[in-house]
Amino acid sequence: MENYFNIRYEFDKQAVFRAIDEALLLGTPGYICVSDGVILATVNRDPDYRRVVDGSMFSICDSSYVPLYLRWIYGIERKQYCGSEIFMDIVHQRRYRMAFLGTTQSTLDGLKRNLSEVDPRIDGMWFYPLPYKAVDDFDYPAIAEMIEKDGAEIIWVALGAPKQEIFMSKLKPHLKRGVMIAVGAAFKFYSGTDVSRAPYWMVRAHLEFLYRIYCEPKKQLRRCMMIVVSLPKLLFQEWGRKRRRKKLTAHAG
């Protein structure tokens, strides 16, 4: 794992899968954050939320811009691993029993139908539309009990950031085992009933945010504004960390 912008990132996909398998083998509940620009900005302005993200196993990098920032600042190459990618990577593995929590019943119905074509076992897995309420108002012991009865190993959560990360942190103490992963819009992307992901050429060109703005202008413009306002300070602070690391390395030598 590597720490940048006050987030512990795991960029190695195989290390991600090994950590999931180890947690399941040991029976240790945990959660993985899928850190996009919203999480990056919120972590660095909200200490309580930062503690939530710090309490995760690690974060994977959902932002296509963080690798660019790391190249500019440190001259290193890292790759994005977004929520929709880890979601389908794990589905295609056909290894785990999974639960799907969040969004609406119609979205979950479409998601179940489409994912069952990849892995027929998914038709018999648990899809639960979490009611729209404040994150403190969920009955976490009851949800954990249902997960325990179901036997789910991977628990996908789609409530949108930052709510879904807080939800996972509150559910974790009630779980006996299982790895939760917050995947935001992935349920919508693969349900066939809601917004789709941007075309690949836009993803490659770091323009996916424009497609998201086009699909959900009110929501995404608000999020983009928060990221843009936060960015100069974040970059300045990371440049400072780079200088301090170089000094420590020089003294150690």
DSSP for residue 132 = S
Percent of the chain with pLDDT over 70: 83
Beta partners for residue 196, in sequence order: none
Please, which pLDDT band fits residue 156 given cuts at 50, 70 and 90? Answer: very high
Average pLDDT score over residue span 33-40: 91
- Spatial distance between the Cα atoms of 89 and 76, rounded to a whole number of angstroms: 25
- Spatial distance between the Cα atoms of 227 and 234, rounded to a whole number of angstroms: 10
Please, which pLDDT band fits residue 213 given cuts at 50, 70 and 90? Answer: low
Residue 219 has pLDDT above 70, yes or no: no
Backbone phi, then psi, for 128, in 5-degree steps? Answer: -130, 115
Mapped onto helix, strand or coil, the DSSP state of residue 107 is helix
- Spatial distance between the Cα atoms of 102 and 206, rounded to a whole number of angstroms: 28
Structural contact between residues 162 and 39, judged by C-beta atoms closer than 8 angstroms: yes
- Spatial distance between the Cα atoms of 160 and 103, rounded to a whole number of angstroms: 9
DSSP for residue 2 = E
- Spatial distance between the Cα atoms of 21 and 30, rounded to a whole number of angstroms: 12
- Spatial distance between the Cα atoms of 74 and 70, rounded to a whole number of angstroms: 5
Please, which pLDDT band fits residue 251 given cuts at 50, 70 and 90? Answer: low
| Tokens linked to 168 | 């996972």
| Tokens linked to 184 | 């935001």
Q: What is the pLDDT of residue 225?
A: 67
Residue found under tokens 């074509």: 117
Residue 2 has pLDDT above 90, yes or no: yes
